[in-house]
Structure 1
């Protein structure tokens, strides 16, 4: 829809990882060696930006026509993890090493401005009792869409599109990769079929000699938001420049193409 101009000029996008994992963070079995709980100790920022950031960067042609300029980041205090650690330590010595630790703020909000004057908002919260959301909001000069919390919605003005219009738009703008593999992906599964689609797309690009949808420059940029957000939070949310890992190549790099005009020949054998 973005490529075909439905939203007009993209102005602003939002992404997030909002997932109530408080009990899981303290579970002895859920995460190996308590890695997720340990990750939340002494690091205050957006520790998982890529989940929400990746899709909107591709929609906004980040590294391929636009580039991040600077960011600011702010975290709340921790109102939950430290309290739970102390509570659990009373009845279980296993949790005593965690009882006196300083935990990451429950929610982090990071905002980014691009060289073209567009904005991105990211949030990270894995402790609050909130509905699961990656937000995935796209806002442009002609319309907007929001995926989470479900159900997904689209608007071209002050009101959401009616269900009938939403269905019509969905049918009109369904990408070729979904038409080709959508039903098979749902049957095979993996996060609702997303895992299968990504694996197939990567394989198809490699087999046909096509550029992959995410390269090392995307990986470096998206991942850099974590330490940059930590640094901003620790400095009263002052702004920080975002490094240009493409060394200026973003000005001439071509946008990602998922239209299957090339490739699309990889077959699937189900065992």
Structure 2
């Protein structure tokens, strides 16, 4: 991990942070992991790149535990401290698209945005569901797929509860399965290429998006493509440092490294204590 992103620092300040697909309001949301990330990072500008709140799931049954409320309050606290927050709605929080163009204090709601990096590079910020063929042409199938996906996330929740009891770290069953299915891999490639084309159409240097729950950062299609990932499977976020450099943070890995360091420190203390006891 980059030296500027040590999780043990009190707060790491970056120029911009990009978060998407938290799906607050669902049991699959890794709210505790997201809250931990927000406690370690602050930014001048925060982009919420869609599907932060899962309106689809909330319509079928209310689920909003305290941790989900804590995430919202943490974001609002950052705004009160001076951060600018730009909310780009996605398909699961499409009810907010009725408010596109509205500005609530330092919270702006827009269909898409252009972020100018510290080095002058211009990035199109968009959720990306507009370029999902299923979403555009077979919306009923998207809802059906969402139900199956939710079932996979419930299985993922139970699996990780068992892993925690065994002292193991977070692992995403649904993300692993997705990357093993050829059609899903092909869909990801097509989606990335479409978003890269949209960036070229807007004459910008790259695109920052979400939607497909697959964190990535590459220049494979002639422009910079960056996907923030999600907070139900990969637990990832994108940040821009003050020198214009972008970094994709995989927070489950950060937590794993932190826990390993803490365990090593405790072991060292125990060994030193035993040596001191024997010496005495």
TM-score range relative to shorter protein: under 0.3
Higher relative contact order (CA 8 A, sep 6+): 1
TM-score in terms of structure 2 length? 0.26
Query: Which is richer in helix?
Result: 2
TM-score in terms of structure 1 length? 0.27
